[in-house]
Amino acid sequence: MGLTLDGKLVVAISSRALFDFEEENQVFEQNDDHAYMQLQRQRLDVPAKPGVAFSLVKKLLAFNEPDSQRVEVVILSRNDPVSGMRVFRSAQHYGLAIQRGNFTRGEAPWRYLKPLHANLFLSTHLSDVRAALAAGVPAAQVYPHSAHASADHPSEVRIAFDGDAVLFSDEAEQVYQSGGLTAFQKHEMDKVAQPLPDGPFKPLLVALHRLQQARIPHIRIRTALVTARSAPAHERAILTLMNWNIDVDQAMFLGGLDKGEFLREFEPDFFFDDQTGHIESAARHVPSGHVASGVRN
């Protein structure tokens, strides 16, 4: 039997999400891919600076031990193979145990997510993220201008999720959009005992929960639900998580308050939300990604 990634937490990530290639990307946008490739070739031995999702990847890889490889990170990039050499050399420079990568030189790489059995795809290309979500893979568009993660929690992978249209379906959000707050609250109270349908990021939360059960002494996962819901609509969200047999470490029911400052205090390695306004607010403080799903998108 051949090698398989089954049973692992598989994160597929683009080059620009893992490393800061914004200067090189400007060359690509102002010229063509040949000028970009030439610049990357000239910089093969210059390690790229860490990008927005670097902290998340580094900490997740800390779950691996010599006799138990629990996390697989795969580069899935529109870069060309020569630029891919620099990506791998940069990963080696920082001690990131990344061995696999697909480099497509401009073609959409999302089709390789299925054979990878990916639990998460992070990319700066919105079209690839939309295609991945449509294929059933949790995916988010990384905002390259996002703040980088705090170094204050080296032994914790901190991840924050929005609720509706991210962990949960956008069923309730559709009611809010069509009928307003009163209709939304009535809908949620009428259905409080019914678990919310699964959202696009439930599979990732399940995979993280499974990874946490390994109980590695030097690293743990800390999760937060950060939602615009407020009482009484909070109950259905919590009861849904209970139905899934999944605990989150924190829950913030903000009732429409700006999420950015609360996330600044939580200090996640990454935050996922379906609304660009929330992401723009969060990105000033923490690494952030847009989940392009649901009625808002």
- Estimate the share of the chain in helix, then strand, then coil, as percent rounded to the nearest 5: 40, 20, 40
Between the alpha carbon of residue 285 and those of residues 147, 152, 169, 260, 282, the distances in Å are 5, 14, 26, 7, 6
Residues in the chain, how many?
A: 297
Contacts of 276 (CB under 8 A, 6+ apart): 290
- Treating both helix axes as pointing N-terminal to C-terminal, what angle do 234-243 and 171-190 enclose, rounded to 10 degrees? 100
- The secondary structure of residue 111, as a DSSP letter, is G
Given 80, 128, 162, 170, which residue is catalytic?
Answer: 162
- Cα distance between residue 67 and residue 228, in whole Å: 42
Instruction: Describe the strand order of the beta sheet including 270-273 as a list of residue ranges.
Output: 100-103, 71-77, 9-13, 120-123, 139-142, 288-290, 270-273, 156-161, 220-227, 250-253
The answer to whether residue 80 is catalytic is: no
Q: Amino acid letter at 88?
A: F
Residues with catalytic roles: 162
